[in-house]
Amino acid sequence: MTQPDNENGPEVPAEGGIVAEVANMTAQERAEHEAEVAEVVAPDREIEVAVGETLLRVENVTMRFGGLVALDDVDFGIRRGEILGLIGPNGAGKTTCFNTMTGVYRPTSGRIMLEDKPLGKAAKYDITRRGIARTFQNIRLFGEMTALENVVVGTDARHKTSVLGALLRLPRHLHEERAAVDKAMALLEFVGIADRAADKAKNLPYGYQRRLEIARALATEPKLLCLDEPAAGFNPYEKEELMGLIRKIRDDGYTVLLIEHDMKLVMGVTDRIVVLEFGKKIAEGLPTEIRENPAVIAAYLGVPDDDVA
């Protein structure tokens, strides 16, 4: 593995590369190593909390832009430990819904409850601290920073040292910095791109950039991970792989909200689905129920198969 070209950036640990090391492991060693990585990736996952409790509630949310009603009295919950799909034809209000949940917009009426407390006027960084992280339809990475640095930045949301502590490079800060690099490396490995840790984000292949965005969002240790069309531009093989990664993230203790335009992917990976059309919720249920729902079928009539959601 090469070193980062930014001299001030964190060094990539493990001379020779963790990827090469893993490749030489026996099946048992690899399983143990993967369990260790999963532990680093989600050290605080709430194993004791019952899966299925409501983590976040969108309560009667209406969002108007001038005369346009982008969300109309939308109401649904996301349960801990599930993968919830949010689907609907173009312009249905999916991204607006994400934006109200992540502090980009304040709902015109209604509210978002996270663990029974309203998000209220919380700013974006505060919402990240409270446990909601997201990726974007259009990838937003720091292109000039390495993959590793992009993820280290994500861990900042959890740092406890003060700015002064960082400037004076106090022991606590140095310890946090080392821990952040280790954690970022584990995250890159978890999403399958550790071999490119030292490359600038802008030089990574598109699929790697999408995975890097997910690693960076996971670095904030979110209770809820919101993925906005993570498979956009992927070929069928890459989509299969992404489905595996989303399941792995859930199995590691995270709750996932997924907007996705590929119906096969949505049906294959989600536990439940909420359907929006013209800003209104028209259906909610298991993938098998949604597939058969007449209102959903009507909403999608005339929409090509691979442009559904």
Of the CA atoms within 13 Å of residue 219, those in its CB half-sphere come to: 31
Interface map 14-53 toward ligand ATP (x if CB under 6 A): ----------------------------------------
Q: In the complex with ligand ATP, which residue's Cβ is closer, 119 or 191?
A: 119
Nearer to ligand ATP, 199 or 228 (CB): 228
Query: Which residues, other chains included, contact 76 with Cβ-Cβ below 8 Å and sequence gap of 6+?
Result: 57, 58, 274, 281, 284
Question: Among 9, 13, 17, 91, which residue interacts with ligand ATP (rule: CB under 6 A)?
Answer: 91
Residue 230 interacting with ligand ATP (CB under 6 A): no
Does the footprint of ligand ATP cover residue 55 (CB under 6 A)? no
CB of 8 to ligand ATP, least distance (A): 37
Rounded to whole angstroms, the Cα distance separating 107 from 59 reads: 10
Binding to ligand ATP by residue 4, rule CB under 6 A?
no
134 binds ligand ATP (CB under 6 A): no
Orientation of helix 206-218 relative to helix 171-190, angle to 10°: 130
Asked if 93 is part of the footprint of ligand ATP (rule: CB under 6 A), the reply reads yes
What is the arrangement of strands in the sheet containing 272-277, beginning at the earlier edge strand? 132-134, 224-228, 255-259, 83-87, 272-277, 280-285
User: Any contact of residue 168 with ligand ATP (CB under 6 A)?
Assistant: no
Q: How far apart are CA 91 and CA 107, in angstroms?
A: 17
Measured CA to CA, the distance from residue 259 to residue 72 in angstroms comes to: 18
Query: Considering only residues 8, 26, 28, 90, which one is a binding residue for ligand ATP as defined by CB under 6 A?
Result: 90
Give residues in contact with ligand ATP (CB under 6 A): 65, 68, 70, 88, 90-96
